[in-house]
Amino acid sequence: MSMEYIRRTYGVPVKRGVRVRIRAFDGWADGRVTSATHYVVVAPDQWPNARLRYHPTDYNFIRYQGDSPTHNGGGSDG
């Protein structure tokens, strides 16, 4: 999967450098998209050397749209 494929197939406007919020390790974290192969790869701000992978429809992966974050794929915060 490339970023182009993810945008077209899942309707997720993912691009390199886009700011996202992810569920990681001990709660929610902010980060940025670094790449996409089979998953969207995110570098969390709190752990700059880590690379976390998320499926584009995973509700643990949230993209920012304007001022409010939007869940991908539905689901709840738990």
Instruction: Give the model confidence (pLDDT) of 5-14 as tens digits.
Output: 888 888 887 8
Distance CA 27, CA 60 (A): 10
Distance CA 70, CA 64 (A): 6
- List, for residues 26-54, the tens digit of each pLDDT value: 788 889 999 988 888 989 988 889 998 98
- What is the reported pTM? 0.71
CATH number of the domain that residue 30 is part of: 2.30.30
Rg over alpha carbons for the chain, rounded to the nearest Å, is 11
Distance CA 77, CA 58 (A): 12
Report if residue 70 sits inside a domain: no
Closest of 29, 36, 66, 67 to residue 54, by C-alpha: 36
Residue 20: band (very low, low, confident or very high) from pLDDT cuts 50, 70, 90: confident
Range of the domain at 52: 3-65
Report if residue 77 sits inside a domain: no
Reading the block at residue 68, the tokens are 């409010």
Domains contained in the chain, number: 1
Report if residue 60 sits inside a domain: yes
Name the percent of the chain lying above pLDDT 70. 76
